[in-house]
A = this chain, B = another copy of it.
Protein backbone atom coordinates (compact mmCIF):
# COMPACT_ATOMS: atom_id res chain seq x y z
CA UNK A 1 0.00 0.00 0.00
CA UNK A 2 1.43 3.35 -0.96
CA UNK A 3 -0.21 6.66 -1.71
CA UNK A 4 2.81 8.87 -1.30
CA UNK A 5 3.92 11.68 -3.55
CA UNK A 6 6.42 10.31 -6.04
CA UNK A 7 9.88 11.70 -5.41
CA UNK A 8 11.25 12.89 -8.72
CA UNK A 9 14.86 12.74 -9.83
CA UNK A 10 16.28 16.04 -11.08
CA UNK A 11 15.82 14.79 -14.65
CA UNK A 12 12.21 13.90 -13.99
CA UNK A 13 11.64 17.27 -12.36
CA UNK A 14 13.05 19.01 -15.34
CA UNK A 15 10.89 16.88 -17.66
CA UNK A 16 7.82 17.88 -15.67
CA UNK A 17 8.73 21.52 -16.16
CA UNK A 18 9.14 21.05 -19.90
CA UNK A 19 5.79 19.28 -20.16
CA UNK A 20 3.94 21.99 -18.28
CA UNK A 21 5.55 24.78 -20.24
CA UNK A 22 4.94 23.04 -23.57
CA UNK A 23 1.33 22.19 -22.91
CA UNK A 24 0.72 25.65 -21.51
CA UNK A 25 1.93 27.10 -24.80
CA UNK A 26 0.12 24.59 -27.01
CA UNK A 27 -3.26 25.00 -25.38
CA UNK A 28 -3.98 28.45 -26.70
CA UNK A 29 -7.41 30.09 -26.44
CA UNK A 30 -7.79 29.29 -30.14
CA UNK A 31 -7.31 25.59 -29.53
CA UNK A 32 -9.82 25.63 -26.68
CA UNK A 33 -12.31 27.58 -28.75
CA UNK A 34 -11.86 25.17 -31.67
CA UNK A 35 -12.51 22.23 -29.38
CA UNK A 36 -15.60 23.89 -27.94
CA UNK A 37 -16.94 24.57 -31.42
CA UNK A 38 -16.15 21.26 -33.04
CA UNK A 39 -16.30 18.79 -30.15
CA UNK A 40 -13.69 16.83 -32.07
CA UNK A 41 -11.48 15.68 -29.20
CA UNK A 42 -8.69 16.49 -31.61
CA UNK A 43 -6.55 19.42 -32.69
CA UNK A 44 -4.25 18.66 -35.56
CA UNK A 45 -1.85 21.38 -34.52
CA UNK A 46 -1.56 20.03 -30.99
CA UNK A 47 -1.50 16.42 -32.15
CA UNK A 48 1.45 17.08 -34.47
CA UNK A 49 3.23 19.14 -31.84
CA UNK A 50 2.95 16.26 -29.37
CA UNK A 51 4.20 13.91 -32.09
CA UNK A 52 7.27 16.10 -32.63
CA UNK A 53 8.25 15.44 -29.04
CA UNK A 54 7.46 11.75 -29.23
CA UNK A 55 4.62 12.28 -26.77
CA UNK A 56 1.96 10.48 -28.79
CA UNK A 57 3.90 7.26 -28.20
CA UNK A 58 5.80 8.20 -25.05
CA UNK A 59 6.96 4.70 -24.16
CA UNK A 60 8.42 3.97 -27.61
CA UNK A 61 12.14 4.46 -28.06
CA UNK A 62 13.23 7.76 -29.52
CA UNK A 63 14.62 5.88 -32.51
CA UNK A 64 11.06 4.77 -33.36
CA UNK A 65 9.51 8.17 -32.99
CA UNK A 66 8.67 7.82 -29.30
CA UNK A 67 10.08 9.67 -26.31
CA UNK A 68 11.60 6.72 -24.47
CA UNK A 69 10.02 7.87 -21.22
CA UNK A 70 10.32 5.91 -18.01
CA UNK A 71 7.03 4.93 -16.32
CA UNK A 72 7.15 7.91 -13.99
CA UNK A 73 7.61 10.41 -16.81
CA UNK A 74 4.89 8.65 -18.80
CA UNK A 75 2.54 9.08 -15.90
CA UNK A 76 3.61 12.70 -15.42
CA UNK A 77 2.86 13.39 -19.07
CA UNK A 78 -0.52 11.68 -18.77
CA UNK A 79 -1.51 13.76 -15.75
CA UNK A 80 -0.40 17.00 -17.37
CA UNK A 81 -2.32 16.20 -20.56
CA UNK A 82 -5.38 15.81 -18.33
CA UNK A 83 -4.63 18.94 -16.35
CA UNK A 84 -4.35 20.98 -19.53
CA UNK A 85 -7.48 19.44 -21.01
CA UNK A 86 -5.63 18.49 -24.16
CA UNK A 87 -8.09 17.11 -26.75
CA UNK A 88 -6.80 13.57 -27.08
CA UNK A 89 -9.69 11.29 -28.06
CA UNK A 90 -8.12 10.48 -31.41
CA UNK A 91 -4.68 10.01 -29.88
CA UNK A 92 -6.30 7.49 -27.55
CA UNK A 93 -8.20 5.47 -30.17
CA UNK A 94 -5.08 5.42 -32.34
CA UNK A 95 -2.97 3.79 -29.64
CA UNK A 96 -5.79 1.37 -28.80
CA UNK A 97 -6.01 0.19 -32.40
CA UNK A 98 -2.26 0.12 -32.77
CA UNK A 99 -2.02 -2.89 -30.42
CA UNK A 100 -4.00 -4.89 -32.97
CA UNK A 101 -2.23 -3.44 -36.00
CA UNK A 102 1.13 -4.24 -34.50
CA UNK A 103 0.12 -7.83 -33.94
CA UNK A 104 -1.88 -8.57 -37.08
CA UNK A 105 -0.92 -6.23 -39.93
CA UNK A 106 1.43 -7.45 -42.63
CA UNK A 107 5.02 -6.23 -42.08
CA UNK A 108 5.13 -3.55 -44.74
CA UNK A 109 1.88 -1.92 -43.73
CA UNK A 110 2.82 -2.22 -40.09
CA UNK A 111 6.16 -0.51 -40.64
CA UNK A 112 4.62 2.35 -42.55
CA UNK A 113 1.90 2.83 -39.96
CA UNK A 114 4.24 2.65 -37.01
CA UNK A 115 6.13 5.67 -38.30
CA UNK A 116 2.84 7.41 -39.05
CA UNK A 117 1.37 6.78 -35.63
CA UNK A 118 4.40 8.28 -33.93
CA UNK A 119 4.48 11.19 -36.39
CA UNK A 120 0.79 11.86 -35.79
CA UNK A 121 -0.07 11.41 -39.46
CA UNK A 122 -1.61 7.93 -39.19
CA UNK A 123 -4.66 8.10 -36.99
CA UNK A 124 -7.17 5.38 -36.24
CA UNK A 125 -10.76 5.30 -35.06
CA UNK A 126 -13.07 2.51 -33.89
CA UNK A 127 -15.59 1.06 -36.32
CA UNK A 128 -17.50 -1.14 -33.88
CA UNK A 129 -21.09 -0.12 -33.25
CA UNK A 130 -23.88 -0.23 -35.80
CA UNK A 131 -26.91 2.00 -35.92
CA UNK A 132 -29.30 -0.70 -34.80
CA UNK A 133 -26.76 -2.81 -32.93
CA UNK A 134 -26.06 -1.04 -29.66
CA UNK A 135 -23.46 -2.55 -27.38
CA UNK A 136 -23.73 -5.99 -28.93
CA UNK A 137 -20.65 -5.57 -31.12
CA UNK A 138 -20.49 -9.23 -32.08
CA UNK A 139 -23.83 -8.84 -33.85
CA UNK A 140 -22.09 -6.72 -36.52
CA UNK A 141 -23.82 -6.80 -39.87
CA UNK A 142 -21.58 -4.62 -42.04
CA UNK A 143 -20.82 -7.05 -44.84
CA UNK A 144 -17.39 -7.69 -46.30
CA UNK A 145 -17.49 -9.86 -49.41
CA UNK A 146 -14.34 -11.13 -51.04
CA UNK A 147 -13.80 -10.29 -54.68
CA UNK A 148 -10.42 -11.61 -55.82
CA UNK A 149 -7.76 -9.72 -53.96
CA UNK A 150 -10.23 -7.17 -52.70
CA UNK A 151 -13.10 -6.95 -50.25
CA UNK A 152 -16.32 -5.10 -50.88
CA UNK A 153 -17.80 -3.38 -47.85
CA UNK A 154 -21.45 -2.49 -47.36
CA UNK A 155 -23.37 -1.19 -44.38
CA UNK A 156 -22.82 1.49 -41.77
CA UNK A 157 -21.23 2.12 -38.42
CA UNK A 158 -22.18 4.66 -35.81
CA UNK A 159 -20.18 6.35 -33.06
CA UNK A 160 -17.01 6.20 -35.12
CA UNK A 161 -15.62 9.11 -33.17
CA UNK A 162 -12.86 11.03 -34.91
CA UNK A 163 -13.41 9.39 -38.32
CA UNK A 164 -13.24 12.76 -40.02
CA UNK A 165 -9.81 13.33 -38.51
CA UNK A 166 -8.43 9.83 -39.08
CA UNK A 167 -6.82 8.00 -41.95
CA UNK A 168 -8.10 4.55 -40.99
CA UNK A 169 -10.94 2.91 -39.17
CA UNK A 170 -10.63 -0.38 -37.31
CA UNK A 171 -13.65 -2.09 -38.79
CA UNK A 172 -15.47 -5.18 -37.62
CA UNK A 173 -17.34 -6.86 -40.46
CA UNK A 174 -19.41 -9.93 -41.07
CA UNK A 175 -17.77 -12.19 -43.62
CA UNK A 176 -19.88 -15.28 -43.04
CA UNK A 177 -23.50 -14.84 -41.93
CA UNK A 178 -24.00 -18.59 -41.70
CA UNK A 179 -21.44 -19.18 -39.00
CA UNK A 180 -22.30 -18.71 -35.30
CA UNK A 181 -22.37 -15.06 -34.27
CA UNK A 182 -18.79 -14.66 -32.97
CA UNK A 183 -17.25 -16.84 -35.71
CA UNK A 184 -18.21 -15.09 -38.92
CA UNK A 185 -16.41 -11.82 -38.19
CA UNK A 186 -13.32 -10.35 -39.83
CA UNK A 187 -11.38 -7.21 -38.87
CA UNK A 188 -10.00 -4.66 -41.34
CA UNK A 189 -8.03 -1.46 -41.06
CA UNK A 190 -9.94 0.49 -43.67
CA UNK A 191 -8.42 3.59 -45.32
CA UNK A 192 -11.05 6.27 -44.90
CA UNK A 193 -10.29 7.85 -48.27
CA UNK A 194 -11.58 4.76 -50.04
CA UNK A 195 -14.28 5.65 -52.58
CA UNK A 196 -17.72 4.60 -51.36
CA UNK A 197 -17.11 5.70 -47.80
CA UNK A 198 -19.08 8.67 -46.52
CA UNK A 199 -18.65 10.24 -43.10
CA UNK A 200 -21.56 12.10 -41.55
CA UNK A 201 -21.24 14.03 -38.29
CA UNK A 202 -23.51 13.56 -35.27
CA UNK A 203 -23.43 15.85 -32.25
CA UNK A 204 -24.00 14.68 -28.72
CA UNK A 205 -25.66 17.10 -26.34
CA UNK A 206 -22.38 17.30 -24.47
CA UNK A 207 -21.03 19.08 -27.54
CA UNK A 208 -18.91 16.09 -28.55
CA UNK A 209 -18.90 15.15 -32.20
CA UNK A 210 -19.01 11.61 -33.45
CA UNK A 211 -19.92 10.10 -36.81
CA UNK A 212 -21.94 7.68 -38.82
CA UNK A 213 -19.77 6.10 -41.50
CA UNK A 214 -21.52 4.64 -44.54
CA UNK A 215 -19.94 1.93 -46.65
CA UNK A 216 -21.43 1.70 -50.12
CA UNK A 217 -19.58 -0.87 -52.24
CA UNK A 218 -16.33 0.41 -50.78
CA UNK A 219 -13.48 -1.76 -52.13
CA UNK A 220 -10.30 -2.31 -50.17
CA UNK A 221 -7.28 -4.49 -50.75
CA UNK A 222 -6.89 -7.71 -48.78
CA UNK A 223 -3.69 -6.28 -47.31
CA UNK A 224 -5.87 -4.22 -44.96
CA UNK A 225 -7.25 -7.36 -43.39
CA UNK A 226 -6.08 -7.87 -39.76
CA UNK A 227 -5.85 -11.51 -38.79
CA UNK A 228 -7.56 -14.45 -40.40
CA UNK A 229 -10.82 -14.46 -42.29
CA UNK A 230 -13.65 -15.14 -39.82
CA UNK A 231 -11.15 -14.74 -37.00
CA UNK A 232 -12.05 -11.14 -36.23
CA UNK A 233 -13.30 -11.68 -32.70
CA UNK A 234 -9.83 -12.73 -31.54
CA UNK A 235 -8.28 -9.70 -33.26
CA UNK A 236 -10.77 -7.35 -31.68
CA UNK A 237 -10.23 -8.78 -28.26
CA UNK A 238 -6.95 -7.06 -27.43
CA UNK A 239 -8.14 -3.48 -27.94
CA UNK A 240 -11.57 -4.29 -26.52
CA UNK A 241 -10.16 -5.79 -23.36
CA UNK A 242 -7.91 -2.81 -22.98
CA UNK A 243 -10.92 -0.51 -23.33
CA UNK A 244 -12.98 -2.58 -20.88
CA UNK A 245 -10.39 -3.19 -18.20
CA UNK A 246 -7.64 -1.58 -16.32
CA UNK A 247 -4.67 -2.09 -18.63
CA UNK A 248 -1.51 -2.86 -16.68
CA UNK A 249 -1.84 -0.63 -13.62
CA UNK A 250 0.50 -2.98 -11.81
CA UNK A 251 3.15 -0.35 -11.23
CA UNK A 252 1.08 1.43 -8.57
CA UNK A 253 1.18 4.60 -10.65
CA UNK A 254 -1.81 4.26 -12.91
CA UNK A 255 -5.32 5.19 -11.86
CA UNK A 256 -7.06 2.28 -10.19
CA UNK A 257 -10.37 3.03 -11.82
CA UNK A 258 -10.92 2.95 -15.56
CA UNK A 259 -13.68 5.46 -14.85
CA UNK A 260 -11.22 7.90 -13.28
CA UNK A 261 -11.37 10.35 -16.15
CA UNK A 262 -15.17 10.47 -15.95
CA UNK A 263 -14.69 12.10 -12.58
CA UNK A 264 -12.60 14.97 -13.92
CA UNK A 265 -15.55 17.08 -15.09
CA UNK A 266 -17.27 16.42 -11.78
CA UNK A 267 -14.19 17.63 -9.93
CA UNK A 268 -14.24 20.80 -12.02
CA UNK A 269 -17.95 21.25 -11.31
CA UNK A 270 -17.43 20.63 -7.60
CA UNK A 271 -14.64 23.18 -7.49
CA UNK A 272 -16.95 25.67 -9.18
CA UNK A 273 -19.64 24.94 -6.62
CA UNK A 274 -17.15 25.31 -3.79
CA UNK A 275 -16.10 28.66 -5.21
CA UNK A 276 -19.73 29.71 -5.43
CA UNK A 277 -20.36 28.60 -1.84
CA UNK A 278 -17.39 30.57 -0.58
CA UNK A 279 -17.67 33.69 -2.66
CA UNK A 280 -21.33 34.43 -3.21
CA UNK A 281 -23.87 35.91 -0.85
CA UNK A 282 -27.48 35.09 -0.17
CA UNK A 283 -30.20 37.63 0.28
CA UNK A 284 -29.49 37.76 4.02
CA UNK A 285 -25.81 38.42 3.37
CA UNK A 286 -24.62 34.98 4.50
CA UNK A 287 -22.52 32.79 2.23
CA UNK A 288 -23.83 29.42 1.08
CA UNK A 289 -20.70 27.96 2.71
CA UNK A 290 -22.01 29.13 6.09
CA UNK A 291 -24.96 26.74 5.73
CA UNK A 292 -24.25 23.18 6.98
CA UNK A 293 -26.82 21.78 4.56
CA UNK A 294 -24.85 23.21 1.64
CA UNK A 295 -21.60 21.90 3.07
CA UNK A 296 -23.12 18.44 3.48
CA UNK A 297 -24.16 18.32 -0.15
CA UNK A 298 -20.70 19.40 -1.28
CA UNK A 299 -19.25 16.81 1.07
CA UNK A 300 -21.42 14.11 -0.41
CA UNK A 301 -20.27 14.82 -3.96
CA UNK A 302 -16.64 14.90 -2.81
CA UNK A 303 -17.10 11.57 -1.06
CA UNK A 304 -18.50 10.00 -4.19
CA UNK A 305 -15.58 11.32 -6.22
CA UNK A 306 -13.13 9.81 -3.75
CA UNK A 307 -15.01 6.51 -3.76
CA UNK A 308 -14.98 6.59 -7.55
CA UNK A 309 -11.21 6.95 -7.60
CA UNK A 310 -10.91 4.00 -5.22
CA UNK A 311 -13.11 1.61 -7.22
CA UNK A 312 -11.10 -0.80 -9.35
CA UNK A 313 -11.33 -1.83 -13.00
CA UNK A 314 -14.72 -2.21 -14.69
CA UNK A 315 -16.45 -1.58 -11.36
CA UNK A 316 -14.73 1.79 -11.36
CA UNK A 317 -16.13 2.45 -14.80
CA UNK A 318 -19.70 2.01 -13.58
CA UNK A 319 -19.02 3.93 -10.40
CA UNK A 320 -17.29 6.77 -12.21
CA UNK A 321 -20.22 7.20 -14.54
CA UNK A 322 -22.88 7.01 -11.83
CA UNK A 323 -21.00 9.36 -9.51
CA UNK A 324 -20.81 11.87 -12.34
CA UNK A 325 -24.45 11.48 -13.41
CA UNK A 326 -25.74 11.88 -9.86
CA UNK A 327 -23.17 14.40 -8.67
CA UNK A 328 -23.66 16.76 -11.60
CA UNK A 329 -27.44 16.75 -11.14
CA UNK A 330 -27.00 17.47 -7.44
CA UNK A 331 -24.63 20.38 -8.11
CA UNK A 332 -27.12 21.86 -10.57
CA UNK A 333 -29.80 21.74 -7.89
CA UNK A 334 -27.48 23.17 -5.26
CA UNK A 335 -26.43 26.16 -7.32
CA UNK A 336 -29.73 26.58 -9.17
CA UNK A 337 -30.37 28.48 -11.32
CA UNK A 338 -26.68 29.33 -11.84
CA UNK A 339 -25.78 25.70 -12.49
CA UNK A 340 -27.77 25.54 -15.73
CA UNK A 341 -26.00 28.51 -17.30
CA UNK A 342 -24.04 27.58 -20.41
CA UNK A 343 -20.32 28.06 -20.87
CA UNK A 344 -19.84 31.67 -21.84
CA UNK A 345 -23.00 32.89 -20.11
CA UNK A 346 -22.48 35.85 -17.76
CA UNK A 347 -22.36 34.65 -14.16
CA UNK A 348 -21.97 30.95 -14.92
CA UNK A 349 -19.94 29.33 -12.11
CA UNK A 350 -16.65 27.95 -13.44
CA UNK A 351 -17.67 29.25 -16.86
CA UNK A 352 -20.45 26.69 -17.18
CA UNK A 353 -18.58 23.70 -15.79
CA UNK A 354 -21.62 22.49 -13.81
CA UNK A 355 -23.89 22.63 -16.84
CA UNK A 356 -21.18 20.90 -18.87
CA UNK A 357 -20.65 18.12 -16.33
CA UNK A 358 -24.36 17.33 -16.38
CA UNK A 359 -24.48 17.16 -20.17
CA UNK A 360 -21.20 15.25 -20.49
CA UNK A 361 -22.19 12.78 -17.78
CA UNK A 362 -24.81 10.98 -19.83
CA UNK A 363 -22.31 9.87 -22.47
CA UNK A 364 -20.09 8.18 -19.92
CA UNK A 365 -22.88 5.69 -19.28
CA UNK A 366 -22.52 4.39 -22.83
CA UNK A 367 -18.88 4.87 -23.86
CA UNK A 368 -17.27 1.57 -24.82
CA UNK A 369 -20.51 -0.21 -23.98
CA UNK A 370 -23.38 0.79 -21.74
CA UNK A 371 -22.98 0.47 -18.00
CA UNK A 372 -25.39 -2.46 -18.31
CA UNK A 373 -22.74 -4.25 -20.36
CA UNK A 374 -20.21 -3.59 -17.63
CA UNK A 375 -22.66 -4.71 -14.96
CA UNK A 376 -23.05 -7.97 -16.85
CA UNK A 377 -19.27 -8.39 -16.95
CA UNK A 378 -19.10 -7.74 -13.20
CA UNK A 379 -21.98 -10.11 -12.45
CA UNK A 380 -20.35 -12.93 -14.35
CA UNK A 381 -16.66 -12.33 -13.80
CA UNK A 382 -16.50 -10.71 -10.37
CA UNK A 383 -19.50 -12.31 -8.66
CA UNK A 384 -19.52 -15.54 -10.66
CA UNK A 385 -23.24 -15.38 -11.31
CA UNK A 386 -24.56 -17.68 -14.02
CA UNK A 387 -24.75 -16.44 -17.59
CA UNK A 388 -28.25 -15.95 -18.98
CA UNK A 389 -29.05 -17.83 -22.16
CA UNK A 390 -30.33 -15.23 -24.58
CA UNK A 391 -31.21 -16.47 -28.04
CA UNK A 392 -28.63 -14.17 -29.61
CA UNK A 393 -25.80 -14.81 -27.21
CA UNK A 394 -24.76 -18.05 -28.85
CA UNK A 395 -25.72 -17.96 -32.47
CA UNK A 396 -25.98 -15.28 -35.05
CA UNK A 397 -29.59 -14.66 -35.89
CA UNK A 398 -30.49 -12.49 -38.86
CA UNK A 399 -32.56 -9.59 -37.53
CA UNK A 400 -36.17 -9.50 -38.47
CA UNK A 401 -36.36 -5.72 -38.57
CA UNK A 402 -34.41 -2.94 -40.23
CA UNK A 403 -32.14 -3.97 -43.06
CA UNK A 404 -28.44 -3.98 -42.27
CA UNK A 405 -26.91 -0.60 -42.22
CA UNK A 406 -30.00 1.53 -42.02
CA UNK A 407 -29.20 4.28 -39.58
CA UNK A 408 -31.73 4.87 -36.87
CA UNK A 409 -31.84 7.58 -34.31
Residue positions of A touching B, CB distance < 8 A = 291-293, 296
CB-based closest 4 A-B pairs: A293-B293, A292-B293, A293-B296, A291-B292
Please report the C-alpha to C-alpha distance between residue A291 and residue B294 in the assembled complex, in whole angstroms: 12
Chain B residues lying within 8 Å of A291, measured Cβ to Cβ, are: 292
- Within the assembled complex, what's the spacing in Å between the Cα atoms of A255 and B296? 37
Counting chain B CB atoms within 10 Å of each CB, which of A291, A293, A296 scores highest? A293
- CB-CB < 8 A to A296: which residues of B? 293
Q: List 4 A-B contacts (CB under 8 A).
A: A291-B292, A292-B293, A293-B293, A293-B296
How far apart are the CA atoms of A292 and B293 in the complex, in Å?
A: 7
Query: How far apart are A385's CB and chain B's nearest CB, in angstroms?
Result: 16
Q: How far is the CA of A33 from the CA of B293 in the complex (A)?
A: 41
By beta carbon, the residue of chain B nearest A294 is B293
- Give A292 to B291 CA distance when docked, in angstroms: 9
A292 cross-chain contacts in B, Cβ below 8 A: 291, 293
Return A303 CB to nearest CB of chain B, in Å. 15
Q: When chains A and B are docked, how far (Å) is the Cα of A296 from the Cα of B291? A: 13
Q: What is the bound-complex CA distance between A88 and B291, given in angstroms?
A: 47
With both chains docked as a complex, state the minimum distance between the C-beta of A212 and any C-beta of chain B, in angstroms: 28
Residue of B nearest to A389 (CB): B391
- Complex CA distance for A111 and B127, rounded to whole angstroms: 74
Inside 8 A of A293's CB, which chain B residues have their CB? 292-293, 296
Q: CA–CA, A293 to B294, complex, Å?
A: 9
Closest Cβ of chain B: how far from A82's Cβ, in Å?
Answer: 35
How many Å lie between the Cα of A296 and that of B334 in the bound state? Answer: 13
Complex CA distance for A293 and B291, rounded to whole angstroms: 9
Q: What is the bound-complex CA distance between A296 and B297, given in angstroms?
A: 12
Distance of A309 Cα from B293 Cα, bound (Å): 28
A296 to B293, CA, bound (A): 9
Distance, CA A291 to CA B291, complexed state (A)? 10
Min distance, Cβ A150 to any Cβ of chain B, angstroms:
42
A286 to chain B, nearest CB (A): 12
A403→B68 CA distance, assembly (Å)? 65
Docked pose: A293 CA to B292 CA in angstroms = 7
Which residue of B is nearest A297, CB measured?
A: B293
Q: What is the distance, in angstroms, from A194's C-beta to the closest C-beta of chain B?
A: 40
A66, chain B: closest CB distance, angstroms: 51
Could you tell me the distance between the alpha carbons of A280 and B28 in the complex, rounded to whole angstroms? 59
